[in-house]
Amino acid sequence: MSSTTNPTHILVTGASGFLGGAVMAQLIETPLWDSCLFLVRASSPEEGLARLVANLRRFAVPEAQLWRFALAQVVCGDLGSVDDYIADERLTRVTHVINCAAIASFGKNPLIWTTNVDSTVNFAECLHAKARLQRFIHVGTAMVCGPEARSPVSETDDPGRDIRHLVEYTESKIEAERRLRALPGLPLVVARPSIVVGHTHLGCQPSGSIFWVFRMALAMGCFTCDFDERIDVIPVDYCANALLHLALKPQLAHDLYHISSGPDESCSFRQIDAAMAEATGRPRHDHYRRLGYDALAAMRPHFDDYFGRCNKRIMLRAIRTYGDFAELGLLFDNRRLLAEGMAPPLRFDRYVGLCAQTSGAQTIAEQMTVDFK
């Protein structure tokens, strides 16, 4: 991790979530920790601190390190309540922002646009006026490229305003980027992660987000992509490290980066299946099939057999949504990030077995709830 020579004061948003928690878990091991602030929804600093400490425990942060967390590091509020905390004098010292906060749902959450676009831009504008920001890292998503993009997707590709989006989440993320870029003087750097799944040392202990999609496909023995189609997946700890690297490196060559496995470190469903089979002791799939949505939907009467007791309507919606993304087979060029000194990520099939082992206590239906909030 790089560092700047001037005093660095970092504000992290979304620290009670999956990616923000991973950023927080890495920061607590550094000398920068004592000057960090964390924005969290809470009625009091004590409640906010309890929420953030609970999240750090999910990332297996040792209890001895948790004592470093002070009430003075907690800013109570969220992106939509800037007026409640913008007068806080602590914010005048903020030099770097890592904005992980968002409604990261592929469902139809009514707050997606308000939070991810309107509130995000207002937060950035107000904070930029309050503090002397050196860098504002905004976490987007590589999927803003749209379903017609060519693989591997380059950071230089402009999605344009007329592209079709599969879900409102990706549309909100590209609109937020456009509006943030229009703010005069904001030192914006956009980071677009690909598919963030699991943790290289903890598997799905911090969160099972997205991993259930792979469990679902392999439970049915079929899905919307070929068995040898490669998938662009990164672990959350790598993503967090990349965000900190982009935030703290004194000079960057670009203002937009993919955080991805790229063409070189992506792996196929076949490789994922082999790794999961080895970890769990089940046989590998010999007769995996690529099927369209209608054929998968026809399997609805057997969903309880595949997934455990479940809401079949929600399972169908998940198959439709994630099946559409899986069918695209997109990889995302990561040469910019590597050129900035980041090492490539660990391939998904190298730690997916750990994800499988740490998911055994949850059914697929239980694990997927985090992504449909």
How far apart are the C-alpha atoms of 57 and 354, rounded to whole Å?
18
Q: Which CATH class is domain 10-209+231-265+330-347?
A: alpha beta
Instruction: Judge contact between 118 and 31, C-beta under 8 A.
Output: no
pLDDT at 366: 86
Give the H/E segment covering residue 195. strand 195-196
How far apart are the C-alpha atoms of 162 and 153, rounded to whole Å?
18
pTM beyond 0.85: the answer is yes
pLDDT at 373: 64
Which residue is listed with tokens 């998503």? Answer: 141
Over residues 299-345, the pLDDT tens digits come to 999 999 998 888 898 889 889 988 988 989 999 999 999 999 999 99
What would the two tokens of residue 65 be? 């390190």
* Count of beta carbons in the 10 Å neighbourhood of residue 358: 18
How far apart are the C-alpha atoms of 10 and 94, rounded to whole Å?
6
Over residues 278-290, the pLDDT tens digits come to 999 999 998 999 9
Residues of the chain under the 70 pLDDT cut: 1-6, 373
pLDDT at 44: 97
Residues in the chain: 373
Give the H/E segment covering residue 325. helix 312-328
Longest dimension (CA), the chain: 62
Nearest one of 101, 91, 99 to 128, comparing CA atoms = 91
φ and ψ at residue 210, rounded to 5 degrees: 70, -30
